[in-house]
Amino acid sequence: MSKHSERLEHGFHVLDTVVGSVVILCLLVWLFLGAWPVFAALLLAVGIVAACLGLAYAIGWLLERMRRPRTIAH
């Protein structure tokens, strides 16, 4: 896999984590304001899953990078 595609893939995983976290924060605000609690709880669950997936991908990416031997760029 090329460096560019690795960076792009990592960027998508970070974006997924950030979006999931923002969704969770927004839905927590909705829950505390009492707006559509069932709908908000459902979206909160989706946000939690998205954040967990993004975090899992990011951790996997880091572990994969740590396993690869380092090469000196010339």
Tell me the domain boundaries of the chain. 13-65
**Main-chain dihedrals φ then ψ at residue 68, nearest 5 degrees:** -70, 135
pLDDT tens digit sequence for 5-20: 666 666 667 777 777 7
CA–centroid distance for 30 within its chain: 21
Residue 2 binned pLDDT confidence (cut-offs 50, 70, 90): low
Q: What is the residue type of 20? A: G
Q: pLDDT tens digits for 31-58?
A: 777 666 667 777 778 888 888 888 888 8
38 vs 4: which has the higher pLDDT: 38
b/e 48-63 (16+ beta carbons within 10 angstroms → b): eebbeebbebeeeeee
Could you tell me which residue, 36 or 60, shows the higher pLDDT? 60
Q: Say how far apart CA 1 and CA 67 lie, in whole Å.
A: 15
